[in-house]
Amino acid sequence: MKFFGTDGIRGRMGEEPITPVTILKLGWALGRVLAEKNGHRGAVIIGKDTRVSGYLLESAIEAGLISAGTDVQLLGPMPTPGIAYLTRTARAHAGVVISASHNPYSDNGIKFFSPDGEKLDDEIEGAIEAMMEETMQTVESSELGKARRYPDAAGRYIEFCKSTIPARYTLEGLHIVLDCAHGASYHIAPLVLEELGAKVITIGDDPDGFNINAGFGATDTQALRQAVTENKADLGIALDGDADRLIMVDKLGNEVNGDQLLLIMALARKARGSLKGGVVGTVMTNLGMQQALEAQGIEFIRAAVGDRYVLDLLKQKGWQLGGESSGHIICLDKTTTGDGIIAALEVLRVMLDTGKGLDELASAMQVCPQVMINVNVPRSFDIKSDSTICNAVKQAEKTLGSDGRIVLRASGTEPLVRVMIEGVDGQQVRSECESLAGVVREAVVAFNSLHG
């Protein structure tokens, strides 16, 4: 597609397609497609994270929707999974998320949720793109949409998060450091934990429009690890800018990633007889997680990278639990998308049930050495068509043999190629990954010289 990637539309603010004019047209196209599909004007919910460009894009897409005759309800700063939840419970015809998730403040993006609180399917995204080729026409004044603030959006989502663990559980006695990444959860996640009884120290909770994800959150846990050890806390919780990712830190200051957290949940669900089917991971999921699951007789399958693909496989299999190493974890029996707060509550429940610390629970997985190097590339660069890269991959696979695994893929959200190698020999894994990343960099230099 021209605009939509694996996770909506994303890019640098001020550059196509993240410009006011294009986002205005996008809102109009969404409104027109929804009107044609549903036969009436409908209503759309709009939420955003805390980056400064959110104000501009919110106004642009709101104007586009209203010009198509669609009513709008504004949530303000709200975690992406909260927008999905409120889209579903408000019976809206779509939800709009203005966020670039874990990216820096200079980026932004748009993604849509269906009335069921799930990512829009490719067919509707295709219809929106086709509509954007049409000439924009505003409806008659009598048919214009209206906008209003959604009442107590934060409070409704807070109560929903708390409801996902049984009422008999209390977090009293737990000392938690919470990192909100200066993002959309800054006014929500602390209240969820505090109202459940935890003693909470919050960092990364002072957004200024520019500091989202900068040195805080799920993509950079150094500040959280330091805060946990300095405050002698029981654990740390790190969310990303739009709070759909979760990374945790144990009391010793060790990071516990999405694979380890997913394994903790799966083993606990099996122990209490509530694991439905198996677990869905991705091509990036550590081999150690797969081995630990299979040792317990739990089926495991891999999806392409992206929580929408994890969700697709979960629905196909009729399973409930899946996620990514990066911390996107889907508990499909509780919500419709990855939710960092809800995933954290499930892990805390396991700690309460077992009386074990996060460090002990995480030790159930023997992590295989895995190295990933990101290489900046032009957006038009195609790794699959470069013979030098393909030959280098084949040579690395031959060197690693059956003890290793290589994943080379273009990011769906950033102009990057991710080079990942996994194996049993950590030194060999790093050496091969650095070598392959070097080949990719050289190919990019050659590509740039040819294409100016």
| Per-residue pLDDT band at 156 (split at 50, 70, 90) | very high
Q: Which of 53, 67, 99, 101 is catalytic?
A: 101
Could you give the domains of the chain?
9-151 (3.40.120.10), 156-362 (3.40.120.10), 370-451 (3.30.310.50)
pLDDT in tens, 339-365: 999 999 999 999 999 999 999 999 999
Of the candidate ranges 86-95, 152-161, 351-360, 421-430, the one whose mean pLDDT is the lowest: 421-430
Mean pLDDT of all residues in 369-374: 94
pLDDT of residue 36 exceeding 70: yes
More confident: 38 or 147: 147
pLDDT of residue 209: 98
CA dist., res. 144 & res. 69, Å (int) = 4
At residue 3, the pLDDT reads 81
- Clarify whether 101 is annotated catalytic: yes
Q: What is the pLDDT of residue 452?
A: 63
Higher pLDDT, 406 or 412: 406
Position 259 confidence tier, pLDDT thresholds 50, 70, 90: very high
